[in-house]
Structure 1
Amino acid sequence: MKNITTFLLIIIISTPIFSQKTSNTGLSTVYPNIIKTPIGFSISAPLRDAPLDTIDINTGKEFYLNKHRDRELNPNIFPPDFKNMPFDPGEQITMGNINSGKGLENNYPGQNSGSYPPDCNGTVGQDYYFQVVNTTYQIFNKSDGSSAAGPSNLNTIFNSSLPGASCNSGDPIVLWDEQADRWLFSEFSLCGSNHYMLIAVSTTNDPTGTWYSWSFDVDDTPDYMKFGIWEDGYYMATNTSPGNDVYVFERSEMIAGGSNPTMIGFDNPNRPATFDGFHCLLPLDNDGPWAPTGTPGQFITIADNDQSNAADELRIYELDADWTTPSNSTFSMVQQLPVNSFAGNFTGDWNNIQQPGTSQKLDAISTVLMYRAQYRNFSGTQKIVCSHAIAESSTESALRWYELEKTSGNWSITQQGTYNPDGVSRWNSTIAMNDVGQIAMGYSVSDATSTYPGIRYCGQSTTAPTGVMDIAEVSIWNGTNSQTGANRWGDYCNISIDPSDGTTFWYTNEYMGSSTHGTRIASFSFPPSCTAPAVQASNFLQVSATTSSMDISWTRGNGDAVLIVAREGSSVNSNPVSGNSYTANSTFGTGSEIGTSNFVVYNGTGTSASITGLSSGIEYHFSFYEFFNIDNCYLTPAYEDYSSTIGTPTLTTTTITSISSQTAISGGNISSNNGAAITVRGICWNTSGTPTITNFYTSDGTGTGTFNSSLTGLNPLTQYFVRAYATNSYGTAYGNEEVFTTACGTVTVFPFSQNFDTWTVSSPDYACTADGTVVLDDCWVNMGGDDIDWDIFTGSTGSGSTGPSSGYSGSGNYIYTESSSCFSSTGYVKSPNFDLTSLSNAELVFYYHMYGNSMGSLSVQISTD
């Protein structure tokens, strides 16, 4: 028995482990600490008569908010370990493929803004679209996008005599109160010694007319306020970390134009912790029929266990307002719902999203649920949809979204998904469900190479798999430049539902133009759900074939017609989209293309067809879809079959097995002789790609089916390319190419010396080299499954006095790994095998250089198995 020995060299680098503080949350109920009426009331002049204005950029306000939030950065909350993040079972890594329906029905320019962030949002009513940005508003005619009022400064909605109305500070919100047929608007006022919440309600359903308006004295800096409409109140939450961050305003009194509506405020004792102290609950905004009578106002938010919270969860709160005795009102956290694990902290700051051509990154706004949290009541089945950004890495953002449901008792999560179909960051999201249960989600997009900050949306049909946005992504506007000089983006946007039909989505968001950010206002709808036929086509038969055509037949199902899609060489991989119609052409490659390389070759009511334009000796796959003409509703999955034209054989190459230093086994599978007998078959190989029978080859019989072949006379540690081949009277055909590398040979001649001098230098100096990056030579291997690779180096390292200055002989190459920035990492390098049976007393000698301060170890392992 041979004594085969392998040496394994390991470096292990350690670093201190920091603990994270975990907060405990209770389900305590609190009573109001603020009960007030407004300090001022007025009725505005008609907005259609307000002076037009250019964008009023209140840079003082933006600077103040940045300073306020930066002061609260928490040095004890660290970004997550992205390498070891738990598996996300709801991650969607492919785009939806259902056609988005009519596409964009409206897509017109909104207002520009020079503020960072612009806080772009808006909402749709019966006849108008009302858009607000920092620090102007504009009202558009819904039908054609023409201006009905504005752009004018936000504070022109308020009478100038109202306390705080001279400020025009921004953070605007506008909502359509559909049950009252009114509009709700708010902004804060920060420029004076006291801070106010300014709220206005239109006196009629015409937003270009007059408005009731009030000024409320609230806690200082009521930042990032968000509103939701509920039957008994206008509910509000703010980013006010010292407290007093949850409010409700007396809706019935405000709709009636009363001068003294009550405001009730609370300090939330169960506010989630965040790395920067920035957090705001979202009040639920009730679209459609009201929640069941007596249902308290609802709030929802997220908590992230990477930011000193006990778990990744959704938290639900209730504010039970008592307008008769306001002091009896209560606020409490009523549910904590575990969600799929996520990371909401990118790098411990607001520099998160990459852009092309600049080092400036954008704020992902990842510590809060994004506006709105929409509530719906479908005949007693209550729904909530909401979304937020999560960190896929320190510079890439994906979107997490949820649908919650309640019929009685508690809320439950019916679906949750992470939309991450490619390497593009998606953030600054908004989500809504229409009257028929379809969901639309809008968001900003950007990446480091070619996607400038722009606007997109996707959707979910009512028949989609759980957690999947199956309606294809659509771009509303592509950015053309990157934002520089500021990291703030958003901070929010909005999708609302057209009350005139209950199904059309209206969406506004910002994008980056040539020199500043602009906004777009768009509307779109999704195709209705359809009922497909119940019985698919069947019984495919190739009636005849030539080198370039074939006649086929089939048995019909129970649709109005059948659509046949063909693909050359492999199975059809894209389905027709219900709602779409397709043009067929019996010449392959000229009909409608579905996905990539899938062509419609038949669309009709018959049971046979002649397909032309084919290639000789090629396998063609067919998918049959019965459908109803009235709505082009296709039955899936398809009935599938395949057949070949006459020509050279059709075959595949078997995966390489039994690989040694000089031999291996492969083979092939001949699925069709394509009209002529196989006279010889085998495998061929070479050290360069695309081998043929002019290179090394075997002969392994005749006929179709599976066969095996042995490759012999190979060289150790050499890469080979292999293909199966088969020959008939039409010629020789080859299977797919397989690639493998022979095993290392065993060292049997001694003394043996390895100096690495013939190896190609990789030289990353003192950087950590990722696992799987560096290929060594002479049967030395950087092993996989560890953290870092050893590098091939020569001369002195950049580590000064700590690293080696040369190889042990004073020149030549050596292998090297750096510990300075590779904390808690391990790197394995493995030698060739040695046959020591000819030696009576084997001795291993190696030279090494190691420098460290009690922070690592260098180990040698010897294995005989």
Structure 2
Amino acid sequence: MKTKFYRLLTLAAFLTVALFSAQDAKGPTFIGTADKMFVAPAISTLKNPEVFVSVEKEMKDRRFYKHEIVPGKDPQKTDDHFVLNRHELEGKIPGKTPSLVFDAAASTSQPTDPALAVGPDHVFVVFNTGFIIYDKNGTALTGQLTPSNIFGTNGCCDLTASYDHVAQRWVVSLLGNGAYVAVSKTSNPVTTQWNVYQYSAVNDYQKLSVWSDGYYMTDNTSSTNKIYAFEREKMLAGDPAAKILAFPLPGIVTSGFFSPQFLTLSDTNAPSPGNVPVVYMQDDAWSGVSQDHIKLWNLNVNWATPASSTISQPVQINIQPFIGVFDGGSFYNLVQPNGGATIDALQATIMNQAQFRKFATHNSAVFNFVVDTDASAAKRAGIRWIELRQSGDGQPWSLYQEGTYTAAAGKHAWNASLIMDMQGNIGMGYTAMGGTANKFVGSYYTGRKANDPLGTMTIAETIIKEGNANIPGGRYGDYSKIDIDPSDNKTMWYDTEYMNNGRKNVIGVFKIAPNYLKDVGVVSIDTPVTGALTNAETVKVKIYNFGENPQSNIPVSFKVNGATIATETYTGTIAPAATVDYTFTAKANLSTEGQTYAIAAETSLAGDEDLTNNGITKNVTHVFQWDASMDEITAPVSGGFLNSQPIKVKVSNKGTQTITSLPVAYNVDGGSWVNETITTPIPAGGTFDYTFTAPFNFSQIKSYNVTAKTMLPNDSVPTNDEISKTVVNSACYTSTNNTQYPIGPGSGVVTNSVISQTGIGNITKVKVKVNLTHTWVGDVEMKLIGPDNTEVMLANRRGSSGDNYTNTIFDDDATTAISSGTPPFTGTFKPESPLSAFNGKPITGNWTLRITDKANGDGGQLLNWSLEPCSDAVLAVSQTDVDSNKVQVVNVGNNKFKVILKDKAITGNVNMNLYNGAGQQVLVKRLNKTTGEYSTEFDMSYAPKGLYIVKLSDGTNNFSKKILVK
């Protein structure tokens, strides 16, 4: 089959040059047929179907490496545009409780790759690597089965499921030795036979879409073949001669991971054949991209004359700037609650799946990707969602609307999937975590009605199900999926990953479309607002029509602190899914300075079918005239190797009068106050960022207490005048190993986990954090072994019959000895032997956490552990490089560098990490050996000036080198 493949590839390449060298469009780079085709029996006929057995391991797909980002290149210095410019209806419309929620699959794979497809009577759920089929009530019709029951092999991962609405068939794909695509012969996935095709040409992260004239697939690959078209008509018929065509994607730029998506059909209303769009985000943090935008290509396949098929040149659709890079491209980005593992934000990916829907007046496409909405060193993941439109089949696509969604209460929001129903309403399922309530990873949804303000997700965050634990390890999800129910073309099914006593995939079923004919409510109280209030305040509200019928003559009332002030009538007509403003004739007395008032407004329409969404409450405060607040000390921040630093603060005027001269001051560690005056007027309700003219020297390795205050004469609220912050100047590094390893069971079974640490100088202090599960934890002995084989006993069979070490920190400065603790040993403990045994020794090298199970019977799992060694060094260009013999760093000009590693003994992959002077990771790459060496180039021309550390490691050998960006 390989001979056939390359012969056809050569022929296709020749035809491409002959036919398209003078044209904008590109022809196929490969024309062929499946490597293998067979008919698989129906699942219902299998006497002994192979049952899925979960194997706990991390999937090492190719998304992790080769990130072609340029540190410091993204010019965005402010928070996300849409976060800063929220529409007043964002998140104001109450969502409905999901009609069905259930755990659909259980798997310990990292990640679980959850997805589903919904047909007339069935829900086909896939995960990594297995599947299960349900009816519409959430009743399992099969057990959890392996892919071999359909594909004849269990492959690797990345199962996908689609329902071909036009043909009423199921289409399932698997990544194995290439890609497998199975097409059902009927609409019943339990009783149907399957036409199964294998294509060895596909490499990684295959995502399949359904179109009018073909099945289409994207591929994560560095080869010329970027996308594939499969001959749908013949695959439906089970014809072994069904063709496969491969194409490039002209002009695509990536960070190293190719994750565009074809649009897929949402219903039976299919467009004309051809012009199937492919979309991808283009981030200006990447080399070769000057402006954040969407690229869109159109693929036209001629199945009768395949060589005349074309992929267009890309169309560039500019969108609002975004920050798309997390942690230099690393997998490990978002911190879970209470010290849990840092998990993947799934960056640089068009999330599963880009959806198409055809309407009478236009065609729509919706898709999303994750962005960092916080331009500071902090992170807050949000979802940039896009709707493109075209006036008709084959017409140009343009941006219709875009927005950035952030979860309530400061949570991260990411791993989203969105779809449009038959009315044009959009529903979006997503993952959220963290925030002020420190929530575990959970499943949520939001959405918008078709006539809502553009760029606005008006549906309030609605919980599908919260998780009950942190995700173990760093890998999470990889994707999720939402699908529309063909029974009504309104009901949405969303599947994602969370923890519910183990890794589970949870499904939530909900609708954005109206549930009732007659249903109205107040969704916003626009005035009054907190400020200088009077005894005759105007109350203005928004009334929303949730129902399917127009409504008029709607009674509406408001209360203040529980007392009804007025009941009036809105006499106009409100169309379905429309909002109107109503201003009460009656006024509100809010005249007491300093008091907070609870204003409640609601409708009371006769016959309203849903009373739960009739009204809302809003608190407003009559503020004092004079109130200056010291809100935040924004700089400096804790880091490594600090020196003289400016003191930056954020102050606000919470009063009603303009402040024209504001005295402010700061001190450090209770020393003398540095007094200055802000002379820029700060209007009522305004904020001001101020930098003191006098900096402070933080060069000592220690913790500093910085205090700042305002000193406004006659300030009415002194409680908000002063604020303090701890700033730590350390020569400390933090490294984490998120790979999970079994512990025991069995007397003498040893588990070793290694962290390859790079750094400068000798050790002054070491701390260790461990997360592990183990029943009867008194069986466990735990040691830390340094690069020079120095051993320190952390815990020696402590805890008797109790279970687990959970966020356990070993620190010589702790007040409680591990011998005095009780399982699950959460908190900070003094180890059995002092970690100071490592003091004075080099920081660089392999550090081993060695866990020995000392008894038979009980076992467990090492989830992750972190090492925090501190150094006595101060970074200086004059210091000797850690290894100057095998690693060469060349400045090739304009702060662009080439790193070369020559070592005959190393043959596998080598990881490159680039750190700044504070120990923050700014770039991640994986290198392959070529012509006897490992090499890569990276651009630092946009990065801040200073010293950086390049670390190269194959997991055993470690090499470090300093570079100076001038």
Q: TM bucket by the smaller chain?
A: 0.5 to 0.7
Q: In the alignment, what sits opposite 1:401? A: 385
For the 8 Å contact 1:572–1:621, the answer to whether it is kept is no
Q: Deviations along 1:427-476, whole A, 9 cap, x unmatched?
A: 11101001111100111111266111110010111221010011222110
For the 8 Å contact 2:211–2:264, the answer to whether it is kept is yes
Inter-CA distance 57–329: structure 2 relative to 1 (3 Å threshold): farther
Q: Deviations along 1:733-774, whole A, 9 cap, x unmatched?
A: x975333579xxxxxxxxxxxxxxxxxxx9999755761176
For the 8 Å contact 2:517–2:547, the answer to whether it is kept is no
Unaligned runs of 5+ in 1: 1-25, 159-164, 190-194, 537-566, 582-602, 655-733, 743-761, 801-815, 822-850, 857-865
Aligned runs of 1:467-482 on 2, under 5 Å? 467-482=455-470
Inter-CA distance 354–790: structure 2 relative to 1 (3 Å threshold): farther
Is 1:780 the equivalent of 2:675? yes
Aligned runs of 1:301-316 on 2, under 5 Å? 301-308=280-287, 309-316=289-296
Q: In the alignment, what sits opposite 1:512? A: 499
> What secondary structure is seen at the aligned counterpart in 1 of 2:313?
strand
Is 1:43 the equivalent of 2:60? no
Select which of 189, 195, 199 maps to 1:217. 199
For the 8 Å contact 1:245–1:266, the answer to whether it is kept is yes
For the 8 Å contact 1:100–1:527, the answer to whether it is kept is no
Q: In the alignment, what sits opposite 1:638? A: 582
Q: Greater CA radius of gyration, 1 or 2?
A: 1
Select which of 306, 320, 323 maps to 1:340. 320
Q: In the alignment, what sits opposite 1:114? A: 108
For the 8 Å contact 1:532–1:634, the answer to whether it is kept is no
Offset of residue 218 of structure 1:
2.9
Q: In the alignment, what sits opposite 2:184? A: 202
Q: Deviations along 1:500-553, whole A, 9 cap, x unmatched?
A: 111111111111234x3211122111243999999x9xxxxxxxxxxxxxxxxx
Inter-CA distance 169–86: structure 2 relative to 1 (3 Å threshold): closer
Q: In the alignment, what sits opposite 1:372? A: 353
Is 1:129 the equivalent of 2:123? yes
Offset of residue 333 of structure 1:
2.9
Select which of 166, 172, 176 maps to 2:159. 172
Is 1:318 the equivalent of 2:298? yes
> What secondary structure is seen at the aligned counterpart in 1 of 2:281?
strand
Moved more, 784-793 or 108-117: 784-793
CA–CA distance in 1 between the matches of 2:389 and 2:263?
13
> What secondary structure is seen at the aligned counterpart in 2 of 1:268?
coil
> What secondary structure is seen at the aligned counterpart in 1 of 2:648?
coil
Q: In the alignment, what sits opposite 1:96? A: 91
Q: In the alignment, what sits opposite 1:428? A: 415
CA–CA distance in 2 between the matches of 1:405 and 1:75?
30
Q: In the alignment, what sits opposite 1:588? A: none
Inter-CA distance 350–621: structure 2 relative to 1 (3 Å threshold): farther
For the 8 Å contact 1:183–1:201, the answer to whether it is kept is yes
Offset of residue 86 of structure 1:
7.1
> What secondary structure is seen at the aligned counterpart in 1 of 2:105?
coil
For the 8 Å contact 2:491–2:510, the answer to whether it is kept is yes
CA–CA distance in 1 between the matches of 2:389 and 2:205?
27
Q: In the alignment, what sits opposite 2:447? A: 459
Q: In the alignment, what sits opposite 2:140? A: 147
CA–CA distance in 2 between the matches of 1:606 and 1:383?
35
* Counterpart code for 2:466: N
Inter-CA distance 640–239: structure 2 relative to 1 (3 Å threshold): same
CA–CA distance in 2 between the matches of 1:264 and 1:632?
46
Q: In the alignment, what sits opposite 1:253? A: 234
* Counterpart code for 2:193: W
Is 1:444 the equivalent of 2:423? no
Is 1:360 the equivalent of 2:237? no
* Counterpart code for 1:129: V
Q: Deviations along 1:125-169, whole A, 9 cap, x unmatched?
A: 100111000111011011x211112310022112xxxxxx43431
Offset of residue 407 of structure 1:
0.9
* Counterpart code for 1:117: P
For the 8 Å contact 1:92–1:420, the answer to whether it is kept is no
Q: Deviations along 1:268-311, whole A, 9 cap, x unmatched?
A: 2322221xx11221011022344442432221111111112232
* Counterpart code for 1:226: K
For the 8 Å contact 2:159–2:174, the answer to whether it is kept is yes
Q: In the alignment, what sits opposite 1:243? A: 224
> What secondary structure is seen at the aligned counterpart in 1 of 2:496?
strand
> What secondary structure is seen at the aligned counterpart in 2 of 1:150?
coil
TM-score (norm 1): 0.63
> What secondary structure is seen at the aligned counterpart in 1 of 2:234?
helix
CA–CA distance in 2 between the matches of 1:624 and 1:361?
53
For the 8 Å contact 2:467–2:499, the answer to whether it is kept is yes
Q: In the alignment, what sits opposite 2:932? A: none
CA–CA distance in 1 between the matches of 2:470 and 2:646?
31
Percent identity at matched positions?
24
Residues matched between the structures, number: 608
For the 8 Å contact 1:790–1:817, the answer to whether it is kept is no
For the 8 Å contact 1:78–1:307, the answer to whether it is kept is no
CA–CA distance in 1 between the matches of 2:538 and 2:211?
52
Aligned runs of 1:589-738 on 2, under 5 Å? 620=565, 624-626=569-571, 636-643=580-587, 650=591, 736-738=623-625
For the 8 Å contact 1:90–1:416, the answer to whether it is kept is no
For the 8 Å contact 1:111–1:519, the answer to whether it is kept is yes
Inter-CA distance 570–420: structure 2 relative to 1 (3 Å threshold): farther
CA–CA distance in 2 between the matches of 1:643 and 1:133?
58
> What secondary structure is seen at the aligned counterpart in 2 of 1:480?
coil
Offset of residue 264 of structure 1:
0.5
CA–CA distance in 1 between the matches of 2:727 and 2:439?
36
Is 1:416 the equivalent of 2:402? yes
Inter-CA distance 614–318: structure 2 relative to 1 (3 Å threshold): closer
> What secondary structure is seen at the aligned counterpart in 2 of 1:295?
coil
Is 1:265 the equivalent of 2:246? yes
Q: In the alignment, what sits opposite 2:854? A: none
Q: Deviations along 1:293-346, whole A, 9 cap, x unmatched?
A: 243222111111111223211111111111112122111234110000001101
> What secondary structure is seen at the aligned counterpart in 1 of 2:149?
helix
Inter-CA distance 34–574: structure 2 relative to 1 (3 Å threshold): same
For the 8 Å contact 1:458–1:471, the answer to whether it is kept is yes
CA–CA distance in 1 between the matches of 2:33 and 2:640?
68
For the 8 Å contact 2:64–2:331, the answer to whether it is kept is no
Inter-CA distance 818–93: structure 2 relative to 1 (3 Å threshold): farther
Unaligned runs of 5+ in 2: 1-21, 523-533, 596-620, 630-636, 651-664, 679-687, 704-725, 732-874, 879-943, 946-966
Q: In the alignment, what sits opposite 1:182? A: 169
Aligned runs of 1:13-52 on 2, under 5 Å? 28-50=24-46, 51=48
CA–CA distance in 1 between the matches of 2:558 and 2:147?
67
For the 8 Å contact 2:263–2:355, the answer to whether it is kept is yes
TM-score (norm 2): 0.56
Q: In the alignment, what sits opposite 1:771? A: 648
> What secondary structure is seen at the aligned counterpart in 1 of 2:262?
strand
* Counterpart code for 2:503: H
